[in-house]
């Protein structure tokens, strides 16, 4: 009977010891450890026994960790909780940064957006880095200095390379990598741009596969098709010298991607409207060409791309017989 009661008291102390460890009450655990070590039960625990029966003493080493072990368990749990809290705080901070960046982008605050995001350029986060790459491109497009624009494109390319390395399953990383590979290729000559063409297409295709509802990716692949369908003979000769099977495309393929982009997000981009009109012109469908080029002409001019589309649309409409008041 005494042995049975002593064992229950022993378990009570042992269980309290475990709970003290689990809740990081290290000092309480140390007190309980000493109770077990001396084989005594304090008056605060049930049983009121001065000693455990001798035959229980052989179990004591199982329940009596050293002081170092007690500290280690508490420290590991503490560090684990702190790490989890840090991860949670970092995730919340990243979401706040992204939200602020998206609001600035929606308001077309190009330079404020760049200045805001560039301070986080060393954060290893793909969502922040691809947005920084996009912001750097927009900053370059707004510059009147061609050298500044060139520097921005190469700066943006470095950001997007980091973003893609961090997450190859992010459609936006593939999209902006392809865009910037082509933009930087323009500065390195026709031969280099053509040499990059298959890789550019590969990343646009990957972006669309990851997100079939992204209008910009669809437009970009349509633009790629248009460029190679519209390629002059001397560039085709360069392409033939670089590749056994040079890149090719048709106006019909380009048109299909431009239409899909418009279906996904109507009127999202003045250049998509312009390219629809130009593609219809190449296919000699002048009625539809005029419709879309007029839409591009009337599109609100907010960005350098809008301005460029507006000016080109006016020239094309005049070639189609549209009269403008002087």
pLDDT on residue 237:
84
pLDDT on residue 31:
54
For 147, residues 6+ apart whose C-beta sits below 8 A from its C-beta are none
pLDDT on residue 294:
97
Q: Does residue 23 belong to any structural domain of this protein?
A: yes
Q: What is the pLDDT along the chain (326 residues), one digit of tens a residue?
A: 444 555 455 455 455 545 544 444 445 545 555 554 554 444 444 444 444 444 444 444 444 444 455 555 555 565 666 665 655 667 889 999 999 999 999 999 999 999 999 999 999 999 999 999 999 999 999 999 999 999 999 999 999 999 999 999 999 999 999 999 999 999 998 888 889 999 999 999 999 999 999 999 999 999 999 999 999 888 888 888 888 788 889 999 999 999 999 999 999 999 999 999 999 999 999 999 999 999 999 999 999 999 999 999 999 999 999 988 76
Q: What stretches of 74-126 adopt beta strand conformation (E)? A: none
Domain residue limits at 49:
2-65
Own/partner pairs for 107-116, CB < 8 Å, 24+ apart? 108/302, 108/303, 110/135, 110/138, 110/139, 110/142, 111/139, 111/142, 113/138, 114/138, 114/139
pLDDT on residue 245:
80
d(CA 166, CA 135): 19
pLDDT on residue 42:
44
Q: Does residue 28 belong to any structural domain of this protein?
A: yes
Q: Does residue 35 belong to any structural domain of this protein?
A: yes
Helices 126-142 and 110-118: angle between axes, nearest 10 degrees: 140
Q: Does residue 270 belong to any structural domain of this protein?
A: no
d(CA 133, CA 39): 68
Q: Does residue 29 belong to any structural domain of this protein?
A: yes
Q: Does residue 16 belong to any structural domain of this protein?
A: yes
pLDDT on residue 244:
77
Yes or no: say if 136 and 152 are a contact pair by the CB < 8 Å rule: yes
Closest CA to 263 of 254, 275, 271, 272: 272
Please identify which residue in the block is written with the tokens 């239409």: 259
pLDDT on residue 190:
85
Q: Does residue 158 belong to any structural domain of this protein?
A: no
Tokens of 281: 């012109």
Q: Does residue 21 belong to any structural domain of this protein?
A: yes
pLDDT on residue 262:
98
Yes or no: say if 173 and 160 are a contact pair by the CB < 8 Å rule: yes
Yes or no: say if 140 and 156 are a contact pair by the CB < 8 Å rule: yes
How many independent structural domains does the chain possess? 1
């Amino acid at each position: 009977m005494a042995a049975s009661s002593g064992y229950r008291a022993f378990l009570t102390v042992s269980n309290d010891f475990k709970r003290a460890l689990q809740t990081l009450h290290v000092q309480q655990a140390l007190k309980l450890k000493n109770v077990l070590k001396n084989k005594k039960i304090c008056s605060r625990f049930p049983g009121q026994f001065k000693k455990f029966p001798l035959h229980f003493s052989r179990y004591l080493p199982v329940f009596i960790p050293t002081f170092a072990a007690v500290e280690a368990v508490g420290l590991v749990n503490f560090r684990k909780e702190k790490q989890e809290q840090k991860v949670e705080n970092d995730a919340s901070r990243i979401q706040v940064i992204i939200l602020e960046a998206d609001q600035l982008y929606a308001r077309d605050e190009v330079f404020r957006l760049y200045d805001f995001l560039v301070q986080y350029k060393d954060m290893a986060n793909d969502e922040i880095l691809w947005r920084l790459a996009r912001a750097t491109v927009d900053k370059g497009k707004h510059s009147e200095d061609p050298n500044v624009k060139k520097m921005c494109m190469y700066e943006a390319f470095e950001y997007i390379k980091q973003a893609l390395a961090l997450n190859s399953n992010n459609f936006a990383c593939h999209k902006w990598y392809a865009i910037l590979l082509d933009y930087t290729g323009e500065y390195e000559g026709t031969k280099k741009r053509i040499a990059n063409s298959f890789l550019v297409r590969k990343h646009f295709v990957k972006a669309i596969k990851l997100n079939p509802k992204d209008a910009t990716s669809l437009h970009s692949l349509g633009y790629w098709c248009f460029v190679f369908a519209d390629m002059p003979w001397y560039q085709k000769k360069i392409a033939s010298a670089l590749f056994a099977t040079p890149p090719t495309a048709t106006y019909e393929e380009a048109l299909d991607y431009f239409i899909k982009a418009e279906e996904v997000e109507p009127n999202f981009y003045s250049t998509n409207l312009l390219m629809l009109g130009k593609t219809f012109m190449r296919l000699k469908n002048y009625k539809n060409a005029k419709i879309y080029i007029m839409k591009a002409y009337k599109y609100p001019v907010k960005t350098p791309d809008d301005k460029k589309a507006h000016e080109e649309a006016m020239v094309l409409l005049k070639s189609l017989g549209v009269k403008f008041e002087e």
